Structure 1
């Protein structure tokens, strides 16, 4: 309002109504440029324009006064903004923090006032999503080959305001065997043998981009189960072999001790007999 009053001082004393348009939605992409159009009415000859960015306060980002363009205000857009010949505001190297409300106050050569309001939302493009397959703990231990419950998770490294869309390439997801968790990031599904070649895709999307990844989860399901069964078999083998090894070593050690004791007694008896024989021989002499 202060800006309007200052401009009115520079205008003739005649009071002109301020024409305010409804807010216009504009989308931008991180790292790219966007143009906020002034959209001048037909036969509207502009004399001055002020572009402002509304945060906690009104911040002037660019203006043109009597043909002189000024964009050197100390705002977050410093050195990233340019006022075009049609009085539109161009912002380059967009950042997520650039989102917000912009207002353009235009003054005509006859003193008319026109106010434009634009709502800018900056998005980061989504990266290609990654799908990970997790097998239900019950199925890991009791895989019958007829059914497998899996959880598919879909994540992206980059992207703002991302939504996730799951699809089955050879049909439509049914409510009976499918459910969505964590805001659509996780798909819970019951697979049958007939689903062995079924591919499921996750599309990560936002208003400015989308990326897709697909997997065939049945192979992961069976492969994970087989690995688990093999591990269990090794565990059972250890339970059987380990006690046998302990018994074997115990018997071997007992045998060695017994042998050592037995071998130690024989020389002792021999030496005693030898002494007695020597004594007898001496007596005979």
Structure 2
């Protein structure tokens, strides 16, 4: 009987299995180690990816290695000399559970279960600052409520951490929205020089960006943040854009129809039009 089928039958055996968490990065490689006990000599090994199909991804029997099984890891997987499973390059969809079944030269059976978590590295975040007040000039010397948004173009499993350079945020002056992506903060004149930073992080990377939001309250901007009044955007810019398109579309349709009718009429009257002439005298 083929050794692979022998290992498959051993799946039903009651054997204690250990579980190990392994983290990887998109585009890089990772090695899943069987973690053999001292003195254990492998005769056969079978690696499986535990999906609904429980795909076999690699096997070894008395030194004969096979990795060309039709799984998502085809041509991205290898079995190292120490029987570790190497995957390269990693993809986000590679996250999941892997099982190694190891048969020793004395007939022992070991099972190793590994949880692979693949992450994409985060990129440097961008902070946007939005003012809740009605008039930038009226709030420049008093309290100023602002909303700070933090976003990153790349990254998976991202968490958002806000910090104040000169200490922690006062509980009564801030709140978090949208899972920490948005920070609402009440600024006072004493916060003129206060710098707030947003850190985006996951288990394999982290990046930070800082801004001084009081400068936005004074009607100033810098290269890291932009000021924007919600009422201006909602009640002025948006209606103007709608009116512009509403007026432009009928005019364009009328022009196209008129142009088509004129061409048809000229053709019926036998008029030849010189394409190089700008007008007909």
TM-score bin, normalised by smaller chain: 0.7 to 0.9
Map of 1:6 onto structure 2:
6
Q: Please, what TM-score do these two structures have when normalized by structure 2? A: 0.73
- Say if 1:146 and 1:192, in contact at 8 Å, map to a contact too: yes
- Say if 1:140 and 1:224, in contact at 8 Å, map to a contact too: no
For structure 2, which runs of at least 5 residues remain unmatched after alignment?
A: 222-226, 233-281
Map of 1:157 onto structure 2:
153
User: Is 1:75 matched up with 2:71?
Assistant: yes
Q: Describe the SS at the equivalent of 2:6.
A: helix
Query: How many residue pairs were aligned?
Result: 222
Change (3 A) 1:131 1:169: same
Q: Describe the SS at the equivalent of 1:118.
A: strand
User: Is 1:211 matched up with 2:207?
Assistant: yes
CA deviation after TM superposition for structure 1 residue 140, in Å: 3.8
User: Is 1:61 matched up with 2:57?
Assistant: yes
Find the aligned partners of 1:219 and 1:164 in 2 and give their Cα distance. Answer: 23
Higher relative helix content = 1
CA deviation after TM superposition for structure 1 residue 227, in Å: 10
Map of 1:194 onto structure 2:
190
- Say if 1:18 and 1:114, in contact at 8 Å, map to a contact too: no
Change (3 A) 1:111 1:145: same
- Say if 1:18 and 1:113, in contact at 8 Å, map to a contact too: no
What is the root-mean-square deviation in Å for CA atoms of aligned residues?
2.6
Q: Please, what TM-score do these two structures have when normalized by structure 1? A: 0.72
Q: Residues 1-285 of structure 1 correspond to what in structure 2 (within 5 A)?
A: 6-7=6-7, 19-140=15-136, 142-143=138-139, 145-223=141-219
- Say if 1:59 and 1:75, in contact at 8 Å, map to a contact too: yes
Find the aligned partners of 2:18 and 2:7 in 1 and give their Cα distance. Answer: 22
For structure 1, which runs of at least 5 residues remain unmatched after alignment?
A: 12-16, 232-285
Larger Rg: 1
| Divergent runs of 4+, >3 A | 2-5, 137-142, 224-228
Change (3 A) 1:227 1:180: closer
CA deviation after TM superposition for structure 1 residue 137, in Å: 3.5
Find the aligned partners of 1:48 and 1:125 in 2 and give their Cα distance. Answer: 36
